[in-house]
Amino acid sequence: MHAERTNKVPKPSKAAPDYISYEEVQKHNTRESCWVIIDGQVYDATSVLQWHPGGPAVILKNAGKDATKAFVPIHPPNTLQQLPMEAHIGPVDPTTIPEDANQPTEEEIRIAEARRNLPPPSAAINLHDIEVLAEKVLTGTAWAYYRSTADDEATYFENSNAFKRFWFRPRVMNKVSQISTATTLFGLPSSLPIFISPAALYRLGHPDGEMNAVRAAGQEGVIQGISNNASCSTEECMSVKLPGQGLVFQLYLNKDRKASETLVKKIEAQGFKAIMLTVDAAVPGKRELDQKAKGEDLKDGPSTFGKSGSSGMGVAHAISGYQDPDILWDDLPWLRRITKLPIIIKGIQCVEDAEKAFDEYGVKAIILSNHGGRELDYSPAPMTVLYELYQQRPDLLRKHEVYIDGGVRRGTDVLKALCLGARGRRARAAVLVCEWRVGRGWLPACHTDYARGNRDGDEVAGCDKP
């Protein structure tokens, strides 16, 4: 069961008609007059075409018809409230909507069939199995957004390949029957040295979105990160967490610093335990799979698209227009002044910046990350940077919290990072594979896979300390 999300909007003005017929809506399917239906309400989206971060194509594809399915997974709950009152035409007359308007598409039929044929979670014995199943049950747009990485994907694959260059030196005849994977991350208890990464648009994969992950994280005793670009509101996420469950918030700095300040104070008051400042995504990367998926929109829409240089920008561009590319080290003192929450820098990619973060700016923790290989191709793998840090500044690993993000697929990957001094393993591609792409029931399966791999690795390697 899941709760359908709607974008609540103000009541239409008195001057607006009581109902608009579906036939009338269909007439407005051009760039010059573009109406859409969202959650039973009719909106004039003509002016939005000029500034929509994702370009006009996706709107024009749904011009003159119901755009709810395309709109809801990508936009935050309060998006419609930000439109001018005159953009809200009024409610559509449900009695005028033809039956075929609500018929499932070929893709929806495909997904429904794939979900009916999903095996139980226990049938997928590793994360690769789960990812294969996930591709079958996601829309093309969702899969393209989740899977897309930058350019030739060299960094994406290197994130995983880097782990393969490190081998264990097992010690034998140690007491290993009592091994625990429990630890503390960001000052919060966790059943495993990993946490669920903040990432955008969970609702592309499941109607409950981030709320699914929060529930499952509470059940499994791991920490959940909530993205600034989440498709669920922070209120929704906080409403389903367990008492004492730790949530951290991933912050992208807004070009309007006042907006960021308001947001930071809001999430602090709500009970988030830390702020993860993202610095490895100054601008959206050239994610070609995502761009190609959005380019498909051009094939099905009305012939009045006209010229649009941004039509194939992809989902990543559509949600990031507010982000400030000019994030500076001097923003850290400002951020510290407006909040008492610990600050974690996510996106360190060299030893020099790790030194600067700890020695000069006194941050709580850092996450070595290249944004999952989704930004600058040929950026170094986090595991490589961790090894360089281990060689050049081992004192930082002893004194501070250092995490890595990218490429983990096995519990032994987690163990390798811990051996080199990482405090915990941020499971981006792995744990999120189960949540985004299959649903809540699969997160315990991922938890079990990581726990078994981590615990068995400890025992076989001869680690005698929990």
Q: Is the pLDDT of residue 432 over 60?
A: no
* Interval 356-362 mean pLDDT: 95
**Residues acting as catalytic residues:** 252, 280, 371
Q: Is the pLDDT of residue 30 over 80?
A: yes
Q: Is the pLDDT of residue 309 over 60?
A: no
Q: Classify residue 21 as exposed, middle or buried by CB count within 10 Å of its CB (0-12, 13-18, 19+).
A: middle
Nearest-angstrom CA–CA distance, 369 and 404: 6
pLDDT level of residue 384 (50, 70, 90 thresholds):
very high
Kindly report, residue by residue over 39-63, the tens digit of the pLDDT. 999 999 998 887 776 667 778 889 9
Q: What percent of the chain has pLDDT over 70?
A: 80
Q: What is the DSSP letter of 358?
A: I
Structure tokens at 73: 């997974």
pLDDT confidence of residue 450: 56
Q: Which residue do the tokens 């503390």 mark?
A: 184
Structure tokens at 85: 């009152």
Q: What does the angle CA 272 – CA 268 – CA 406 come to, to the nearest 5 degrees?
A: 45
Pair 139, 204: CB distance under 8 Å: yes
Most confident range (mean pLDDT) of 68-77, 290-299, 343-352 is 343-352
Q: Is the pLDDT of residue 89 over 80?
A: yes
Q: Is the pLDDT of residue 319 over 70?
A: no
pLDDT confidence of residue 15: 45
Nearest-angstrom CA–CA distance, 311 and 252: 24
Q: What does the angle CA 182 – CA 451 – CA 410 come to, to the nearest 5 degrees?
A: 125
Which range has the worst mean pLDDT, 9-23, 333-347, 350-364, 410-424?
Answer: 9-23
Q: Classify residue 34 as exposed, middle or buried by CB count within 10 Å of its CB (0-12, 13-18, 19+).
A: buried
Q: Is the pLDDT of residue 434 over 60?
A: no
Pair 135, 437: CB distance under 8 Å: yes
Between 398 and 55, residue with greater pLDDT? 398
Q: Is the pLDDT of residue 448 over 80?
A: no
Pair 182, 190: CB distance under 8 Å: yes
Residue type, 295: G
Between 395 and 16, residue with greater pLDDT? 395
Nearest-angstrom CA–CA distance, 428 and 221: 17
Nearest-angstrom CA–CA distance, 455 and 27: 62
pLDDT confidence of residue 439: 45
Pair 280, 375: CB distance under 8 Å: yes
Q: What is the DSSP letter of 74?
A: T
Q: What is the DSSP letter of 105?
A: P
Mean pLDDT of the chain: 83
Give the chain's domains with CATH numbers.
Answer: 1-103+289-314 (3.10.120.10), 151-281+323-461 (3.20.20.70)
* Interval 113-128 mean pLDDT: 91
pLDDT confidence of residue 438: 40
By residue count, the chain amounts to: 466
pLDDT confidence of residue 197: 84
pLDDT confidence of residue 1: 41
pLDDT confidence of residue 304: 35
Nearest-angstrom CA–CA distance, 207 and 225: 18
Pair 450, 429: CB distance under 8 Å: no
pLDDT confidence of residue 466: 45
